[in-house]
Structure 1
Amino acid sequence: MNTDIDTGHRIWASYGVDGERPAATAPETRETRPVNAIAEPAWSGLRRLARFGMRRRAAAAPCGVVLMYHRIAEPASDPWDLAVSPRNFADQLAVLARFGPVGTLAGMRAALDRPAPPRRFFALTFDDGYRDNLVAALPALTRAGVRATVFVASGLTGSDREFWWDTLARAMLECPTLPGHLHLRLGGGRHDWRLGPAPGRARRMRLIASVRSELMRLEPAAIEAAISEIAAWAGIERAGAAANHPMDLAEMQALAASGQIEIGGHTHSHAALTLIAPEAAAAEIARGRAALRDRTGQPVTSFAYPYGLHDGHGLAAVRAAGFDCACTVRPGIADAASDPFRIPRIQVKDWPAERFEREIASFAGRADGT
């Protein structure tokens, strides 16, 4: 495939805004991209709710708001808005304390099932298992007396290199100069991208989106080979800074033993479940849960779909693996009637306290039917 990234890039076409495969493939528009596709404008969860017309079935019913984090850090490049600075995170926790109880995903579900549930409950979740979840998030959570759920891709624990999408972002956004062409052999086919001379940030962002959409379809070994090739092409080391790595086994066990964290499943290799065979998806889900249970000695009952991608096969496999619930990336509010295997979440960005409070206040008002 020969791609001019100004006109021919492909960004997760044929997947809905919540990462769920629709019944029929439609031409890609802003509305049909997943919420964390790189080209998606940085709307807040509230604005997405208004834009896509999502409303709670019963606004006055007790509800849960699940907040989605990834990192508590200040990386040099963050094209997907995954990182919140330690200072802003501490301030966000202080804001949340004024709006209602805060805890894990399992804690939220238990609270909503009580005979007299709270009017609203906030659950904090972290995806992937970054090292800074232990180093930066846990101390802040402990000081605030708040628990959270961390979804860990079991096969990436202990890796001596950063997550592949972070190497991709670093190669494309942090290198002052890049070669004019990128050539990769992926899945038996040759893929070529033309950058042209002195590509600006917008062009580099389009390249990231296009390459990422192709890599997600590959087996883990093929992804690693391609990312290593991209790192060499850009003239950077594949490993990246240790601060950007996943937790190692001892760190993940320390996080689980802290008393502040519920460990949840996130597959074994962070697989895009709708892009692989159903049998492979089921194996990824079950293997990840078994590994986390063995390593932590704790029950693992909550799951998050990598990239938010899920379909009926994946949902059934999550249920069959023994999970009690699963999170999407679809923005919305949960209540006792919500599908426990399609729980919506709101992505939190690196907002200062004032902006975060406005978002939460608006959400609390929506939850209360005001």
Structure 2
Amino acid sequence: MIMSIIAVLIAVVLLLWFLGNYNIWRPVVSSDQPRILMYHSIGDGISDLSVSTAKFDQQLKWLKAKGYRFVTVSELLELDSTVKVVALTFDDGFEDNYTNMFPVLQRYAAKATVYLAPDISGIDRLTVEQVKGMQASGLCEFGAHTLNHVNLSQLDDPQAQVEIIKSKQKVESMTESECRSFAYPFGRYTDRTVELVKAAGFDSAVTVKKGIEHIQDPYKIKRISVLGKTNIVQFQIAMTRGRYRV
């Protein structure tokens, strides 16, 4: 009797773990709603923000096989139809976006939007030459992510304005083209932050809020988070449901 109860409890725990990490119970989102994926580093970093090159290749191979069309965030806002459309986004501006991510983009003729924090510390950053090479390919759009990757919700208006405007200017100096898209560092923003981003001349801004939906407010765009531990089954669940775990 006791063994039977233990077996049932183990089965329940395993079921809850499975359903918590593989959210197949979430409703499938219609394919006419765009998928915006959020990445950071591509490579073998120790942080879970690093997705291995092999996994990234596997994910793009799956997207290509399923007939998804790759667009930049700015292109996404201009489309008449968003059926089976996916926008790959990369925050911060890691150098491995050039050494590891970019060759995979080229292999699948996929497009991406990279949000640069030009003066961010603690990472190996993309160089101006690398940025120019990626942009020249026609596969990469570069957006801004503040100068120093700061939490804008903790700054007063003048400080936040400097971080937002100066990052736009610096990205434009690096790319020699207009910087139209913005990403809130840490996903932190207030209504006032949104107004400052609009006033700086950006057309859109992405958040870290998870989900798939038609874009109602271009300054509060939700994304699908992809992490280093995300396996291909979880990736497919996220692509159809907006997230793969609780």
Q: TM-score range by the shorter chain?
A: 0.7 to 0.9
Q: Separation in 1 of the partners of 2:174 and 2:112?
A: 19
What letter matches 2:218 in structure 1?
A: P
Matched letter for residue 313 of structure 1: R
1:101 aligns with 2:73: no
Q: In the alignment, is the contact (CA less than 8 A) between 2:211 and 2:242 conserved in 1?
A: no
1:347 aligns with 2:222: no
- Cα distance in 1 between the residues matched to 2:242 and 2:145: 27
Secondary structure (helix, strand or coil) at the match of 1:334 reads coil
* Residue 133 (structure 1) aligned with residue 97 (structure 2): yes
1:90 to 57, 62, 84: 57
Partner Cα distance (1:355, 1:274) in 2: 32
- The DSSP-based 3-state class of the residue aligned with 1:294 is helix
State how many pairs are aligned: 221
Where does residue 147 of structure 1 map in the other structure?
A: 111
- The answer on whether the counterparts of 1:304 and 1:328 sit within 8 Å (CA) in structure 2 is yes
Task: Indicate the SS of the match to 1:328.
Answer: strand
Partner-residue secondary structure (3-state), 1:154: coil
Q: CA deviation at 1:253?
A: 2.2
Answer with 321-330 or 288-297: which moved more.
288-297
Cα contact 1:92–1:352 (8 A) shared by 2: no
Matched, 1:62 2:32: yes
Which of these residues, 171, 174, 177, is aligned with residue 298 of structure 1? 177
Contact 2:152/2:193 (<8 A) preserved? yes
Within a 5 Å distance, the mapping from 1:178-197 to structure 2 comes to: none
Match of 2:43 among 69, 73, 78: 73
Q: 1:105 offset after TM fit, Å?
A: 1.1
Aligned equivalents of 2:82 and 2:90: distance in 1? 23
Q: CA deviation at 1:149?
A: 0.2
CA drift at 1:331 = 0.7
Matches within 5 A, 1:167-206: none
Cα offset for 1:151?
0.1
CA contact (8 A) 1:124 1:147 kept: yes
Partner residue, 1:310: 189
* Uncovered stretches (5+) of structure 2, i.e. residues with no partner: 1-19
Identical-pair percentage: 30
Change (3 A) 1:60 1:131: closer
For structure 1, the residue ranges without an aligned partner over 5 or more in a row are 1-42, 157-162, 165-243, 365-370
- Calculate the TM-score normalised by the size of structure 1: 0.56
Match of 1:20 in 2: none
Structure-2 change in CA distance of 1:285 and 1:353 (3 Å): same
The one-character-per-residue Cα deviations of 1:72-119 (angstroms, maximum 9, x if unpaired) are 0111x21xx2110000000000111215212211122222xx1xx142
Q: Is the Cα–Cα contact under 8 Å of residues 224 and 242 in structure 2 kept in the other structure?
A: no
For residues 293 and 88 of structure 1, what CA distance do their matches in structure 2 show? Answer: 31
Partners of 1:274 and 1:118 in 2: how far apart? 31
Q: How does 1:154-173 map to 2 (within 5 A)?
A: 154-156=118-120, 163-164=121-122
Of 195, 202, 205, the residue aligned with 1:326 is 205
Q: Which has the higher contact order (CA 8 A, sep 6+)?
A: 1
Q: CA deviation at 1:271?
A: 1.3
Cα pair 2:71 2:111 within 8 Å, conserved: yes
Offset of residue 327 of structure 1: 0.3
Q: Which amino acid aligns with 2:59?
A: Q
**Alignment RMSD:** 2.4
Residue 180 of structure 2 contacts residue 204 of structure 2 at CA under 8 Å; is this kept in 1?
yes
